[in-house]
Amino acid sequence: MSRAFTNPHLLSEETVKNVLRIADEIGYVPNHTARALSTGRYANIAIIVPDIANPFFPPMIKAAQEDADNSGFCVFLGNSNEDPAREDQLLARFLGQVEGFILVSSRLGEQRIRHYVERCPLVLINRDIKGLPRVLIDSGPGVSEAVHHLAELGHKSIAYLSGPKRSWSNTQRLAAVKKAGRELDLKVSVISTTTPSYQAAREVSARLINTGATAVISFDDLTAQGVIAGLSDHGLVVPRDISVVGCDDVLDAATHPSLTSVSSRSAESGRTALSILLDFLRKGNTGDIRFSLDTRLVSRETTARPRLP
Amino acid sequence: MSRAFTNPHLLSEETVKNVLRIADEIGYVPNHTARALSTGRYANIAIIVPDIANPFFPPMIKAAQEDADNSGFCVFLGNSNEDPAREDQLLARFLGQVEGFILVSSRLGEQRIRHYVERCPLVLINRDIKGLPRVLIDSGPGVSEAVHHLAELGHKSIAYLSGPKRSWSNTQRLAAVKKAGRELDLKVSVISTTTPSYQAAREVSARLINTGATAVISFDDLTAQGVIAGLSDHGLVVPRDISVVGCDDVLDAATHPSLTSVSSRSAESGRTALSILLDFLRKGNTGDIRFSLDTRLVSRETTARPRLP
DNA sequence: GTGAAAGCGCTAACAG
DNA sequence: CTGTTAGCGCTTTCAC
């Protein structure tokens, strides 16, 4: 039976046919778990994300899952809920039944991540740890492009609405805004929120207005929408009074006015991470991989010339 | 070792402590797979959806996953991509390693579904098959509530922007609009689009305006946003000139003006399905369950009194 | 309380 | 090519 299912070429055609026929008759299906225990090949991988409901992640999960599927792998999905402890628990729970992990925007300490890497192949997305395979969506170019776009429109003072302090993408975006601002001789103000939520962003609008900025680049699209609502609470209209740029481009053009945003390439990052993982499973150590995906600005309706004073 | 991890109360306190300490020292972790093979309890379930990237599903997945997690279950995620064959393959692949399935908006033939039900506990979401446990989201009440809401605001003439003709939810919503409209003595116009996309909805705005309707109920949130943009193309502002209601409430309040919408209760459906599944795993047969989730109107900023002529 | 051993369903190595 | 068997890492009886 085992051979008929896994190595049919080792058996005579007739035997194989016979076995398969009988299996079908009695409704026999090979037991995935027993096979995994015996071979150590689980044919499972796990993807762990901070928040499934954040629209940034589904395209990534979908892409990775589709490719995994085509390679005969099943995928576990873990939702850490932005909580390192939960993430850790998830990793531990999956450990005994997967051949590899894709860890997205991990909030876990580097120590813990290395702990798991020693036990199971793992590739990171949007977390930059030397020596570990990682794919990074580099918002630098896109954000930089956004600043240039604003400067060209005539803005002299801009603000960056910051995301989670420990987030790699936030660090990246903040740095890009500052760098481009310096190069173009713009005033750059930075505003922080407690959490990167719509509501938090909405509530921070007064501080935003006080900076005197005529344009805002926000940590992501969700907070950008919060900013737009918050500005409206103060009677300001986007883009007439203030221009707004989001990041991740998860809304496509589906809001009104449609949001100018920095593309995220979420799906590609998932596909890339999966292919790195599968490569590793097939060929073993592949050296220090750091795959960087550039971003671009998608210019839409929330950016315009600043209103004359 | 086995007892120390799974039945510590059967051992002396000291022995347990010893085992755990040594386990920690040598980095020992119980093997999930071996345990599953031995006990037949996999502590895994699978959720299969047509399209992870459709914003309707992530809240459902997230909710189910969270509850599963808290009950010690790992969850496999399958994406059928709306393809029955792929869905079938996914089911088969998961079969040997899960204790149960949640099958969402299944495109599979009833025969095949019953085939799997005989082999593994399974609960359906948004698919109504007699005798199988199922949870259904009924958009009727919410849509009806929306019509009442508009009538109370003073609207006399409303329009329904139709979704796919063959879609069950569209049929249901259209019927609810018509019925409530009749009861409240409103004029109801129906506008169709080729596909339920943002762009298609945007392009249909002239026809919408020509109906003379002062309020629009749209098939879903995406098309509702298209309507808002299309109206704006004609110089009309929502809700000042025209009120707009969406369906599914996938945007939360995250747009501006925030969209009045009919809740989809996506998360609750996931939670409910999971709890039915776990109940079944614990207590066995629970009879014919058909759990219907009513919807409600979530009133936000895109509906208001009609402008006086 | 604790040790020993059978067995979950499969694979892989070893004979024939 | 095909039959047989040890063993994957755990749980669960059955003795002690």
pLDDT in tens, A167-178: 888 999 999 999
Enter the tokens of residue A115: 């702990």
User: How confident is the model at residue B164, as a pLDDT?
Assistant: 82
B163-190 pLDDT tens trace: 888 777 888 999 999 999 999 999 999 9
One domain, residues A133 and A13: yes
Enter the tokens of residue A160: 């960056």
One domain, residues A185 and A286: no
- In this complex, do B96 and A33 lie within 8 Å of one another by their Cβ atoms? yes
What number of C-beta contacts closer than 8 Å exist between A and B? 136
Q: How far apart are the first and last CA of chain B?
A: 81
B93 close to A74: Cβ distance less than 8 angstroms: yes
Q: Measured between alpha carbons, how far is residue A188 from residues A152, A175, A177, A211, A247 in Å?
A: 15, 11, 8, 9, 17
One domain, residues A91 and A167: no
CA separation for the pair B216, B228 (Å, rounded): 10
B101 close to B127: Cβ distance less than 8 angstroms: no
In a domain, A269, yes or no: yes
One domain, residues B158 and B237: yes
- In this complex, do A225 and B86 lie within 8 Å of one another by their Cβ atoms? no
Asked whether residue B294 carries a pLDDT value surpassing 90, the answer given is yes
B111-123 pLDDT tens trace: 999 999 988 999 9
CA separation for the pair A307, A233 (Å, rounded): 19
CA separation for the pair A136, A125 (Å, rounded): 6
**Which of A33, A210, A16 has the alpha carbon at shortest distance from B94?**
A33
Taking all residues of chain A, what is their mean pLDDT, rounded to a whole number?
Answer: 93
One domain, residues B84 and B10: yes
In a domain, B305, yes or no: no
Q: Measured between alpha carbons, how far is residue B105 from residues B29, B116, B129, B168, B184 in Å?
A: 38, 16, 12, 11, 33
User: How confident is the model at residue A254, as a pLDDT?
Assistant: 81
User: How confident is the model at residue B285, as a pLDDT?
Assistant: 75
Interface residue B234 vs chain A (CB under 8 A): no
User: How confident is the model at residue A96, as a pLDDT?
Assistant: 86
What is the CA B67 to C1' D9 distance in angstroms? 28
Instruction: Give B257's DSSP letter.
Output: S
Mark which residues 76-105 of B lie under 8 Å from A by CB.
76-79, 81, 86, 90, 92-97
Instruction: Answer whether 0.85 is exceeded by the pTM.
Output: yes
Q: Name the region of A249 (left: φ>0; alpha: ψ -120 to 50; beta: rest).
A: left
Instruction: For B250-288, give one letter per residue: b (16+ CB within 10 A) or e.
Output: bbbbbbbbbbbbbbbbbbbbbbbbbbbbbebeeeeeeee
CA separation for the pair B128, B134 (Å, rounded): 7
**Residue B21 neighbours by CB under 8 Å, 6+ apart:** none
Enter the tokens of residue A21: 């026929």
Q: Could you tell me the sign of the dihedral formed by the alpha carbons of A101, A104, A106, A111, in that order?
A: positive
Three-state DSSP at A190 gives strand
In a domain, B303, yes or no: no
What is the CA A39 to C1' C8 distance in angstroms? 15
CA B174 remoteness from chain centre: 19
Three-state DSSP at A282 gives helix
Burial of B83 (0-12, 13-18, 19+ CB in 10 A): middle
In a domain, A301, yes or no: no
CA B293 remoteness from chain centre: 11
One domain, residues B115 and B67: yes
CA separation for the pair B118, B120 (Å, rounded): 6
CATH number of domain containing A227: 3.40.50.2300
Per-residue pLDDT averaged across B72-91, rounded? 94
Per-residue pLDDT averaged across A53-71, rounded? 95
Indicate the pLDDT class of residue B196, thresholds 50, 70 and 90: confident
Closest-CA residue in chain A for B70? A86
Enter the tokens of residue B32: 């999930």
In a domain, B231, yes or no: yes
In a domain, B299, yes or no: no
Percent of chain B clearing pLDDT 70 (strictly above): 100
A9-49 pLDDT tens trace: 888 888 888 888 988 888 888 899 999 999 989 999 999 99
CA separation for the pair B84, B87 (Å, rounded): 5
One domain, residues B124 and B152: no
Instruction: Give B8's DSSP letter.
Output: G
User: How confident is the model at residue A13, as a pLDDT?
Assistant: 86
One domain, residues A108 and A77: yes
- The shortest C-alpha distance from A84 to chain B (Å) reads 15
Asked whether residue A192 carries a pLDDT value surpassing 80, the answer given is yes
Spell out which residues of chain A touch residue B90, defining contact as CB-CB under 8 Å.
69
One domain, residues A273 and A242: no
**How many structural domains does chain A have?**
2
A243 close to A228: Cβ distance less than 8 angstroms: no
Q: Which of residues 1-60 of A touch strand C (CB under 7 A)?
A: 1-2, 5-6, 28-31, 34-35, 37-39
Lowest average pLDDT, out of A211-215, B152-156, B198-202, goes to B198-202
One domain, residues B40 and B98: yes
**Residue A166 neighbours by CB under 8 Å, 6+ apart:** A107
CA separation for the pair A41, A32 (Å, rounded): 10
One domain, residues B48 and B164: no
- The shortest C-alpha distance from A81 to chain B (Å) reads 9
One domain, residues A94 and A199: no
Q: Which amino acid is at B156?
A: K
> Alpha helix (H) ranges present in chain A?
2-6, 13-26, 32-39, 58-70, 84-95, 110-117, 139-153, 168-183, 198-203, 205-210, 221-233, 266-283
CA separation for the pair B67, B71 (Å, rounded): 6
- The shortest C-alpha distance from A179 to chain B (Å) reads 30
In a domain, A10, yes or no: yes
CA-based diameter of chain B, in Å? 84
Phi, psi angle pair for B67, to nearest 5°:
-65, -40
- The shortest C-alpha distance from B55 to chain A (Å) reads 7
Spell out which residues of chain B touch residue A31, defining contact as CB-CB under 8 Å.
37, 96
The reply to whether B15 has its C-beta less than 7 Å from any atom of strand C is yes
In a domain, A49, yes or no: yes
A296 close to A263: Cβ distance less than 8 angstroms: yes
What is the four-CA torsion angle of A224, A230, A232, A236, rounded to 10 degrees? -80
Structural domain span for residue A79: 2-137+265-294
The reply to whether B5 has its C-beta less than 7 Å from any atom of strand D is yes
